[in-house]
Structure 1
Amino acid sequence: MLRVLAVDDEAPALGELLYLLRADPRVRSAEGAGDATEALRRIGRALEAGPGGDEGAGGIDVVFLDIHMPGLGGLDLARVLGGFARPPLIVFVTAHEGFAVQAFDLEAVDYVLKPVRRERLAEAVRRVHDLVHATAQAPAPEQVPVELGGVTRFVPVDAIAYVEAHGDYARLHTDQGSHLVRIPLSTLEERWAARGFVRIHRSHLVALARIDELRLDGGATSVRVGDADLAVSRRHARHLRDLLMRRTP
């Protein structure tokens, strides 16, 4: 079961969040803090207690964290916690939609919008619970926050076939559709190189494993990715062919 810390400077919002968390059967204990200083103090006390079977003993598994707070804000606190040897997981709970990209950069598990709905919070708790209690020790799959009709959803990177540049934005193409995110293609190229994504054109980044065909036609090179035909620029063609040849058993 989960040991939870909720952080919000607004007492009514914090009280409601704690009420919902404590009602979830996957939550063993849920404490509250009104600011970042109190949150760090509570986390420090939990770490000093060490692991154990008693209620409240051991470290904090997850911090449900507001973004706008006096003093040290939620994003800054998440960066501080990320420097811990064994950082707690982070779920942002905020009334502001515009910080999903920063949440992505900080590897937040979820991004819940206020007013908090019981069902939506339960989904966030489920995600945390699955990560904390997963039997496999492999790292959690990376996800990208996307906005759909005012609701933030998280798309697994492994579900993305290719990415198309749109200025400072990028369009993520999956088998289920596409999503526009405010992240430059160059940033995703650097971040996802180790995940098998390769630049084939100034406008396209492709998951190597999702390339179905490589086509050569009169000196022009293109690839087939699902239903899409994507041009490969001359500067990237040789490198792509080499990568595809190494992929072949």
Structure 2
Amino acid sequence: MKVPLTVLVVDDERPTLDELSYLLGRDPRVAEVLTCDSATETLRMLREIEVDAVFLDVQMPGLTGLELAQVLARFREPPPIVFVTAHDQHAVKAFELQAVDYVLKPVRDDRLAEAVRRVVGVVEGVADRGPAGDLQVPVELGGVTRFVARSAISYVEAQGDYARLHTDDGSHLVRTPLSQLEDEWGPAGFVRIHRSLLVSLAHVAEVRMDAGRCTVVVGRSGASVELGVSRRHTRQLRDLLLKRAGS
């Protein structure tokens, strides 16, 4: 593959399809823009031609964008995928599918240009296709999407239907409930220590017991935080930490 790119835009809404095609067609790094309005048409087209990237909506009738991405991931040479959607709650799942980027509608020129830049990096082999063992979590800050490595997150705090991700450098609010993150991040070493807290075992520096009350210290010494562990989660946490230390 080479730059300029041949890209495929997939969206079941014609106005969005036309707008994305127009914006991508103005980018000098894009040579050709193809379009599809369904997952079925997309699969049919990709059997006949090779594209350098797929710009894919999430909410579509029939196969959703996430389901289509799972099918494309089984291709011998899966195309890089950029999700373009009005729904930010699917971002975690999208990056588990190794999406190159996740762009929110309405799409801004500069944000789409950044997505193309990331595609170019993948195509030219100077950037990873997606998380290689370390999920990149998209967070919004002042209208700009940043990416926080999951390995940098020391603990997660529930805030209603949202969750606040804490790192040594600050915190970020994401529209994902704590229960969902617990299910999805459990294999990566995040465990529940309280009904409103998940902690990364890799960031636990100390476990303290005082009069039967358990707390853990997470983070670096200069930015450490002491968190309370509920009684029902204390034994499980200690067993997991002992197992981790012995592995």
TM-score range, shorter chain: 0.7 to 0.9
Are the structure 2 counterparts of residues 45 and 188 from structure 1 closer, same or farther at C-alpha, using a change threshold of 3 Å?
same
Are the structure 2 counterparts of residues 136 and 63 from structure 1 closer, same or farther at C-alpha, using a change threshold of 3 Å?
closer
Are the structure 2 counterparts of residues 152 and 93 from structure 1 closer, same or farther at C-alpha, using a change threshold of 3 Å?
same
Are the structure 2 counterparts of residues 116 and 188 from structure 1 closer, same or farther at C-alpha, using a change threshold of 3 Å?
closer
Are the structure 2 counterparts of residues 181 and 135 from structure 1 closer, same or farther at C-alpha, using a change threshold of 3 Å?
closer
Larger deviation, residues 122-131 vs 178-187 = 122-131
Q: Paired residue for 1:237?
A: 234
Structure 2 residue corresponding to 1:222, chosen from 215, 222, 227: 215
> Is residue 2:13 matched to residue 1:7?
no
Q: Distance in 1 between matches of 2:91 and 2:186?
A: 20
Q: Distance in 2 between matches of 1:145 and 1:136?
A: 16
Q: Which segments of 5 or more consecutive residues in structure 2 lack a partner in the other structure?
A: none
Determine if contact 2:208/2:214 at 8 Å carries over to the other structure.
Answer: yes
Give runs of aligned pairs for residues 200-215 of structure 1, distance below 5 A.
Answer: 200-215=193-208
Question: Secondary structure of the residue that 2:176 maps to in structure 1?
Answer: coil
Larger deviation, residues 163-172 vs 139-148 = 139-148
Q: Paired residue for 1:40?
A: 43
Q: Distance in 1 between matches of 2:214 and 2:58?
A: 47
> Is residue 2:92 matched to residue 1:104?
yes
Determine if contact 1:131/1:140 at 8 Å carries over to the other structure.
Answer: no
Distance apart, 1:119 and its partner CA:
4.0
Q: How many percent identity over aligned positions?
A: 53
State the Cα RMSD in Å: 3.0
Q: Paired residue for 1:192?
A: 185
> Is residue 2:13 matched to residue 1:16?
no
TM-score with structure 1 setting the length: 0.76
Are the structure 2 counterparts of residues 149 and 231 from structure 1 closer, same or farther at C-alpha, using a change threshold of 3 Å?
same
Whichever residue aligns with residue 105 of structure 1, its letter is K
Determine if contact 1:6/1:18 at 8 Å carries over to the other structure.
Answer: no
Whichever residue aligns with residue 193 of structure 1, its letter is G
Q: Paired residue for 2:132?
A: 139
Determine if contact 1:163/1:172 at 8 Å carries over to the other structure.
Answer: yes
Are the structure 2 counterparts of residues 198 and 158 from structure 1 closer, same or farther at C-alpha, using a change threshold of 3 Å?
same
Whichever residue aligns with residue 242 of structure 1, its letter is D
Whichever residue aligns with residue 149 of structure 1, its letter is G
Question: Secondary structure of the residue that 1:92 maps to in structure 2?
Answer: strand
Larger deviation, residues 208-217 vs 32-41 = 32-41
Are the structure 2 counterparts of residues 141 and 60 from structure 1 closer, same or farther at C-alpha, using a change threshold of 3 Å?
farther
Q: Distance in 2 between matches of 1:41 and 1:194?
A: 35
Determine if contact 1:163/1:204 at 8 Å carries over to the other structure.
Answer: yes
> Is residue 2:162 matched to residue 1:169?
yes
Determine if contact 1:200/1:236 at 8 Å carries over to the other structure.
Answer: yes
Q: Distance in 2 between matches of 1:136 and 1:39?
A: 24
Q: Distance in 1 between matches of 2:110 and 2:189?
A: 35
Larger deviation, residues 172-181 vs 36-45 = 36-45
How many residues are matched?
A: 227
What CA deviation, in whole Å up to 9, does each residue of 1:204-226 have, x standing for no partner? 11111111111111111101112
Larger deviation, residues 131-140 vs 114-123 = 131-140
Q: Distance in 2 between matches of 1:18 and 1:136?
A: 22
Distance apart, 1:90 and its partner CA:
2.2
Larger deviation, residues 175-184 vs 227-236 = 175-184
Q: Paired residue for 1:248?
A: 245
